[in-house]
Structures are given as C-alpha cells and as structure tokens.
Chain A
Amino acid sequence: MATKPKKIPMRFLLWWHRHIGLTVAIVAIHLAITGILLNHTSDIGLDKAYINNSTVLNLYDIKLPEQLPGYKIENNWLSHWNDVIYFNDQVIAESMQPLRGAVITAHFYALATSEEIWLLTIDGEIIEKISAPGEKLGDIVSIGTQGNNVTINTEQGVFKADNDLIAWQPVKADSINWSQQAYVPKELTELLFAEGHSISWERLLLDLHSGRIATRAGTLLVDLAGVALLLLAITGFTIWLKRRKK
C-alpha cells in the first residue's frame, strides 16, 4: 500500500514565509528602487551623468597617479587619463590608445596616439583624425617636427609628412624636435580627477543592482536574495492554496 505524501504543516510554512520575507525585505527594496531607476536612466540622464566622488571612484580602483604625464604645447596641456584625451581640462575625445606626444606646426597642433594623428585647432577642437600611417608604418612611438613638418617615430623607422599629412617619407632622425613628456601641473591633475568623465551613474546603478559593486560577496548576496524571493513566492502561493482549500 502506497504511503500518503506527508503534508507540510501550515505553521511551518508561515514561519518560513515570515522569516524569509523579513530577511530579504531590505534587499528586495534595494532591487526594486535600483531596478526602476535603471529602466529610466536615459530619460533622467543618468547614462550621461558622471560620478565625481572620489570614494565611489575608489570602489572602481580609479585612482589618479600622483603625477599625470602629459605634453605641453604653448600654454596648453594635453593628457590622457581613463581612455579620454584632455586639452587642458576639456575632453577632446575618447581614445583607448596611449598618447605619444603633441607638437605645434605653422597651421595646427598635432597629437599622436599609438595608432592615429589628430590635428587640432589652438582651442583644442579636432580638425581631423588621421589613421593612415598605422598599417604601413607600424605603431607610433613618438611625434616631433622637422621645420614645420610633422615627423613620427614608428616601429618601421622615422617618417616625415608633407604639409597636409597625406604622404610620409622616411627621414634621418637628425634635427627633429621630439615632443617631450612632462607632468601635468597638480591643480590641473586634481581638476581632471574631480571631473571624472569615467563612471556614469547608470553604471553605478547597474553594479548596485547586480551586487557587483561589492565584488563576489555582493553578487552572491543578490543571488541569495533572488533564491529567497523565489522561496517567498513559493511559500506564499502554497499558503494561499492551503487556505483556499479550507
């Protein structure tokens, strides 16, 4: 004779439902608030708003080195931090390639990343990005000038450009004024750090929602909360069914 499956006592279910509910309440509120905000980040501009708080930035291991390397042309500083190239404190554009130097010619400023040369106005506006030398000449190591012409030192040797930076000719490395790296003044370094431009509020919300902000422990906590919410739903549904039968 088959034995009847043992029924789960109502008191047992209620106890678990209550305690799971109380335990998971704070995490559920946290998930609900961050979830609602995440659904509307574009509408309220959180995807374009960046965090300036150094404590929060420290959570992402974003620390400005004590001295930020850069290149000075006339009275302007060009620097590269956190995948962004700055003209003084102004963002020029994002670049994942390292900054190799900056020079001034008769008509424009020119900066070099490892793969591109950007021509800039004296106000730091991009005239043009030139990626042409990359494939044929290899990565750019440094940039300089010979007279008014831009020269680059690449993996394939030293090359000099014509006035419009269209054609590149090999040249001897004599009498070239290479761009020299220096350190950005402290005041400007602090300003760049304060302006951030790195972690958006959307990213922070996403990491808070997933628990990733607190690395593995945070993710695990959110995972456990997810399981607890599942149990809450199951026990709640079972209690409702049992009461309905009565």
Chain B
Amino acid sequence: MRKYLFFILLMVTTIIQARGVYQHPDAFLDDVFSGEVPKPKFVWFTGETGKQATSILKHKPASLRTRYWSKGKRSVWILEEIGKEKFITTGIVINDNKIEKVKVLIFRESRGWEIKRNEFTQQFSNATLTSEGNLSKRIDGISGATLSVKAVTRLSHLALYLHSIVVKSDGN
C-alpha cells in the first residue's frame, strides 16, 4: 500500500512540477545583474532583423519589438516561443558573443517540461554563431519533449543573432 501511495505522490508531484513560473523574469534579471539591473533597450523586428528573426524562428516573431538588458559585453534576453501550443518564456544570457546561460522561466505546455532541467540547458553554454549564422553546438533532444527542445534551441539561436546586431549598433 505504501509503495502505491509513494508512486501516486510521485506522479502528482511530477504533474505539479510540469507547468508554472519557475522564476519570474524580474528575479532572473536581478540574479544575472546581482540586483543592479540596467535600463532595458529595444530591438525592432523590422527590415533585415525581422527577416533573419523570421528565418531563425521559422515564423514571424510574435511581437514587433523585444527588450534586452546589457552591461559591458553581456546582454540578457527574455524571449518567448511556442512549443506545441503555448508560449515558453526563456531567459538567455549572452556574454562576449557566447551563450553564458539559458533558463526556462515560465512553462505553460502540458508536456515537455523536462527542458527546464540543468542537464538540458547546460548544453547551450558557450554556443556561438557560426560564420554561416547557425548555432555552433548540436543540442541533444529529450524524448517526449521534441517541440519544447526545438523552441528553446530557436530562442537561443535568436538571442545570439540579436546580440550580434546590438553589439554592432551599440558599438561594443
């Protein structure tokens, strides 16, 4: 009987873990900048930036502009992408044109929550853009979370591209 109760409890905990706010975007920014969050700036998805973003995401971006926060060679992007049906909000830190950190902040899908695990997100560390503009690292998938994995991979690729754009325009 105790065994069954344990498994039922385990299943319920897993379902509860699946969806929700893992970390509020504000708290993520506070963590990254140790409480001294710089004023955000904007990137508009117009012209070439819009075309490239559409090509990376494989669809038009969901909004006309996005915010980013930068200090020195670091920039932080809070981006959203649909996995299967709902948006996955992800925080991505780029440092000196390399991915420093990827963190799933809000997960709204019913399946694929495994992407929040560190073992998955750590795969992105130190990924860069290749000379052809692709992600330099191959990201291993997770069985049952294919669409969520693809969504986070596209967002990481987009963050690297947007970082390269703002570095040029900000003259860093």
A residues adjacent to B (C-beta < 8 A): 93-94, 96, 121, 125-132, 134-136, 164, 166
Contact = CB atoms under 8 A, between A and B. Distances in A.
A134 B24 contact: yes
A132 B40 CA distance: 11
Given A131-B25, A135-B26, A126 B62 contact: yes
Contacts of A94: 86
Chain B interface size band reads 10 to 19
B27 A126 contact: no
Nearest to B23: A135
B63 interface: yes
A166 B40 contact: yes
Given A94-B86, A128-B67, A166-B39, A135 B27 contact: yes
Interface of B: 24-27, 39-40, 42, 62-67, 80, 86, 89, 108
B121 to A, nearest CB: 20
Given A94-B86, A166-B39, A166-B40, A126 B63 contact: yes
23 contacts: A93-B62, A121-B64, A126-B62, A126-B63, A126-B64, A128-B42, A128-B63, A128-B64, A128-B65, A128-B66, A129-B63, A129-B80, A130-B67, A131-B24, A131-B25, A131-B89, A132-B25, A135-B24, A135-B26, A135-B27, A136-B26, A164-B42, A166-B40
A167 to B, nearest CB: 8
Contacts of A166: 39-40
Given A135-B24, A166-B39, 12 more contacts: A126-B62, A126-B63, A127-B63, A128-B42, A128-B65, A128-B67, A129-B63, A129-B80, A131-B25, A132-B26, A135-B26, A136-B26
Nearest to A95: B87
Q: Which 7 A-B pairs have the closest CB atoms?
A: A135-B24, A126-B63, A127-B64, A135-B26, A128-B63, A128-B65, A131-B25
Contacts of A130: 67
A132 B30 CA distance: 12
A128 B63 CA distance: 5
Contacts of A128: 42, 63-67
A68 B28 CA distance: 37
Nearest to A83: B86
Contacts of A126: 62-64
Contacts of A121: 64
Contacts of A164: 42
Contacts of B64: 121, 125-128
A171 B89 CA distance: 30
